[in-house]
Amino acid sequence: MLDTDLDDIHPLFADAPSTTGFKKLRKRIVRYTREAIEQYGMIEQGARDPDAKPQKWLVCLSGGKDSYTLLAVLYELKWRGLLPVDLLACNLDQGQPGFPATVLPEFLEKMGVPHRIEYQDTYSVVMDKVPAGRTFCSLCSRLRRGNLYRVAREEGCSAVVLGHHRDDILETFFMNLFHGGRLATMPPKLINEEGDLFVYRPLAHVAEADCEKFARSMNYPIIPCDLCGSQDGLQRQQVKQILDGWESNSPGRRQVMFRALMNARPSHLLDPKLFDFLGLERKKTESDTNFGEIPVLR
């Protein structure tokens, strides 16, 4: 819980509404983000040492509501001295036709946010490689992630920070369950395959609806992803509709399911790689000791 009054503290909050509802929303998002950062150890050891070289995070911006919320809340935590890292915002312009390439650079300049705009035409690669009627998301995300890792290394960053929220994590879990045959989702913290960069998701506990309300209330210039959003029948959209239905019939269901991801019991699942079922032994009783003895007839 933050004790400091939530007054405007950074240009990112210059037009923040003064309503009680928005202040509660902002405070909730900050609290949940701080909890995730602390719970999953996103601040490396030594980062709080005033004599140490500041760590640097590459904060990835798509121009969507989630990434704007991520950037704002990280700056609020940094302003309050709760996030001892340097932040570099980065947008990867993937060459998508009609993409408003000037929106993010102008916004970041106006806000005084250090940033890097990287142009890589991954759009043409995706369109060339993906057969007609298939979804673009998998290849698009791999190409995007590879370029972001490269930029992070070039900028001396220790972590790539993404704007995935609670609902993204929950939807990915059900996509893996329904279509992948595994219990897995997006972790709040992981190390890339090369082992030289962390990947963080500080909004892991934040609801999508809160990101939507926050970004809209702040009038941030939202850029839609028309490349993926224009396709019908995406598995993620189907899962989202299922979860929306459950939430509508039983409000709060999403949060209950999300808590389940934080309360796994390997002994009550079926994966022998996670729990040693073969090594289970029951406690010997007196009847076991006497088992096999032949009673004496008198």
Query: Residues marked as binding?
Result: 137, 140, 228
> Could you tell me which residues are beta bridge partners of residue 198?
159, 191
* Rg from Cα positions in the chain: 24
Question: Residue 27 has which token pair?
Answer: 């405070």
Return the SS3 of 90: strand
Both tokens of 275, joined, read 């729990």
How many whole angstroms separate alpha carbon 47 and alpha carbon 102?
Answer: 34
Map tokens 């001295």 to a residue.
81
Q: Is 21 helix (H, G, I), strand (E, B) or coil?
A: helix
81: alpha, beta or left? (left if phi > 0; alpha if psi -120 to 50): left
User: Known binding site for [4Fe-4S] cluster: residues?
Assistant: 137, 140, 228
- By CB atoms closer than 10 A (0-12, 13-18, 19+), residue 105 is middle
